[in-house]
Structure 1
Amino acid sequence: MPIHLECLSHTPLHGYFDPAPDVVAEVGRVQAAARRRVQAFDPELIVVFAPDHFNGFFYEVMPPFCIGAAASAIGDFESLAGTLPVPESLARELAESVMAAEIDVSLSYRMQVDHGCADALEALTGGLDRYPVIPIFINSVAPPMATLRRARLLGDAAGRFLSRTDKRVLVVGSGGISHEPPVPELIGATKEVAERLIAGRNPSAESRAARQARTVAAAKAFTVGDSHLHPLNPEWDRAFLMCLAAGELTAVDGMTNDAITRDGGKSAHEIRTWVAAFAALAAYGPYRASLDYYRAIPEWIAGFATMHAVPSNALAAAA
């Protein structure tokens, strides 16, 4: 059955610390175009590959991958909050199929997603509950992390399952390219920070506000060049995006975690979500992809991009 792909960067800083108005408008136009594509496709199911930023997943139990059979969005950084309309039985069947393909994945009946998932749904659909949605978490900030090859194989296994359904599926990858916002690390952390990384679910409003203030302050320092954070790397970003566009997905298998951190920054590991989404699409067969937007946006500490893709046979049928 039909499949459509949208991959896009997200930022929690939109509205808190923005680039010039023309850049904000530019991003808005690109996202509006993506939303129109989604509306025209009219999906019967959305599968979102998304990271988390120590809001829903913690070192108490940190799986490399997790499928949500029930999920809610927490509303951090004023992102949308509420229950996601997850088709429970289908999510469970997806998990069973992925496990049968020998990809170890967890299943959650109380998944919490943050802006990494919610922002993509809002940008593409205008809400959290416009369509049935299955969130798939990919650990992208908490070492040790699965390799890009495993993320690719996860997407491939999910795509093969989805191709056997009778649904129009929108597959989404939500994540930054090169970027390194101030996400804390467990190694060397103070006792207080370590506890938050291990078991920090449902923080107080004051704690969340303080965390958001630290992120905004870091973005302001980064923009004026007064920061230790990894610089954005547009050349690396574009090379990765062109690899996806060319359909050369196995080429990412050789990208080590150390190399990703070195070249793109500690949060560039979110490219796993793009790899998994494209692998799910590729499970349907050859595809045609379009790089719709790219800009390095220091105010948002992100290489910011948007791509969409469809199976080649869908284009031929439409011709």
Structure 2
Amino acid sequence: MAIRLKCLSHTPLRGLNDPSPEIIRDVDAALAKARAEVEAYDPELIVMFAPDHFNGLFYDLMPPFVLATAASGVGDYTSLPGPLSIPGALALDLAAHILDSDVDIAISHRLQVDHGCTQTLEELTGGIDRYPVIPIVINSVAPPFAPYRRIRHLGEAAGRFLAALDKRVLIVGSGGLSHEPPVPMITDAPEVVREFLIAGRNPTAEARAARQARTIAAGQIYGTPACPLTPLNPEWDQAMIDLLLRGDIDAIEHFDIAEITRTAGRSAHEVRTWAAAFSALAAAGAYTGTRDFYCPIKEWIAGYGIVSATSLIDAELSPA
């Protein structure tokens, strides 16, 4: 048994509204290092905690957590479309274990996933179907949200299951850190937008292009006085990374939803994927971790970070 972790930010604006060449170079180098490490580890299973951005899940039925036994990427923005390689029977076993652990989780046999899942898979592995992967989508953009103590319990339940497998497992958290893209809120949305938030699956190419254009336009003014959206918060980002790397898992239970929204932006709740991933790793025992990269990138509307961690059980088994 071996368990490792990668948590990293994603952004639909990569390649569409880029920062300076120097920042692109640094991000590319950090991602290349992360991918090389994944390839060297050669995971037999990836469990990915990811958000959805109103591409696969909508308010007609919005579960706090959903595990997929089969899934396909929708190909939004520049992300890859097509099926993921999901071991269906093992995914069902994991779902059953999570339910037996008193954590309610929905199951999908035909989930649509977006860039929040597929971009990270592609950047870490070179594709979206190269390794067996079980996606667990955590609602991070559609209030009301499950309390963070439930995120910890979800991660711990998954981690106990993974620790019992005789496999090289990679746990991935995709999302965050501080950011607030122009995601509409159902509470004050016009009727046409409200209808999209309730049941907007499989939009036309024109509708998807219009959505992309709105996000690009927001990125072009993000962090300026012309933008009403909550700006990036590098101090909050760094504090969150530090907390998770030092193993302060108990603190996750006390994260305040309203305070995170106010301090780091509405979509900073994607850090739920990091919290679940680290909770899963911690369930296997102590770990050691590193901050691999961090940069606040306003053009991408992203407090962009990459972190790695390794179970000490894994470290003990690994050759020197």
Shift of 1:312: 1.9
Is it true that 1:302 corresponds to 2:298 in the alignment? no
The amino acid that maps onto 2:110 is R
State the partner residue of 2:248: 248
Aligned to 2:216: 216
| Alignment correspondent of 1:192 | 192
How far did residue 186 of structure 1 move? 0.4
5 Å-filtered alignment, 1:128-277, equals 128-277=128-277
Match of 2:290, SS state, is strand
For each residue in 1:222-252, what CA deviation from the matched residue of structure 2 results, as whole angstroms up to 9, or x when unmatched? Answer: 1544100001111111111100000001112
User: Who is 1:91 aligned against?
Assistant: 91
Q: Deviations over 1:144-192 (max 9, x none)?
A: 1111211111011001011111211111000011000001110011110
Q: TM-score, normalised by structure 1?
A: 0.98
Deviation at 1:55, TM superposition (A): 0.4
Q: Trace 1:118-137 onto structure 2 (pairs within 5 A).
A: 118-137=118-137
| Structure 1 CA distance for aligned equivalents of residues 67 and 19 of structure 2 | 34
Distance apart, 1:25 and its partner CA: 1.1
Q: Is 1:292 aligned with 2:288?
A: no
Match status 1:60 vs 2:36 = no
User: What is the CA–CA distance in structure 1 between the aligned matches of 2:296 and 2:253, rounded to whole Å?
Assistant: 25
Which whole-Å deviations, capped at 9, do the CAs of 1:86-145 have from their partners, x for residues lacking one? Answer: 111111110000000000000000111000000110010000111011100000000111
5+ residue gaps in structure 1? Answer: none
How far is the alpha carbon of 1:316 from its aligned partner?
3.9
Given that 2:69 and 2:91 are in contact with CA atoms closer than 8 Å, whether structure 1 keeps it comes out as yes
Aligned partners of 1:171, 1:316: CA distance in 2, in Å?
Answer: 18
Q: State the match for 2:35 in structure 1.
A: 35
Segments of structure 2 that go 5 or more residues without pairing to the other structure are: none
Count of residues in correspondence between the two structures? 319
CA distance in 2, matches of 1:185, 1:313: 44
Separation (CA, whole Å) in 1 of partners of 2:314 and 2:49 = 23
How far apart in 2 are the matches of 1:134 and 1:268?
Answer: 23
Q: Who is 2:117 aligned against?
A: 117
Q: For residue 82 of structure 2, give the secondary structure of its aligned residue in structure 1.
A: strand
Q: What per-residue deviation string (whole Å, max 9, x for no partner) do you get for residues 181-238 of structure 1?
A: 0011100111100010000000000000000000000111115441000011111111
Q: SS where residue 77 of structure 1 aligns?
A: coil
Which AA in structure 2 matches 1:195?
Answer: E
Is the contact made by 2:223 and 2:231 (CA closer than 8 Å) also made in structure 1?
Answer: no
Which residue does the alignment assign to 1:46?
46
Distance 2:314 2:136 in 1: 26
The answer to whether residue 100 in structure 2 is matched with residue 100 in structure 1 is yes
How far apart are residue 4 of structure 1 and its match? 1.0
Contact 2:223 2:232 in 1 (8 A): no
CA distance in 1, matches of 2:259, 2:157: 26
CA distance in 2, matches of 1:312, 1:225: 46
Which residue of structure 2 aligns with residue 79 of structure 1?
A: 79
| Counterpart Cα distance in 2 of 1:110 and 1:189 | 28
Cα distance change, pair 122–301 in 1 and its aligned pair in 2 (3 A): same
Task: Read off the aligned partner of 1:16 and give its amino acid letter.
Answer: L
* Contact in 1 for aligned 2:293/2:306 (Cα 8 Å): yes
Deviation at 1:315, TM superposition (A): 2.8
**Letter matched to residue 78 of structure 1:** T
Distance, in Å, in 1 between the alignment partners of 2:51 and 2:101 is 22
| CA RMSD, 1 decimal | 0.9
TM-score, normalised to structure 2, is 0.98
Distance in 1 (CA, whole Å) between partners of 2:45 and 2:255 is: 31
Aligned-partner residue type, residue 48 of structure 1 = M
Q: Report Cα offsets for 1:49-74 as digits up to 9, x if no partner.
A: 00000000000000000000110000
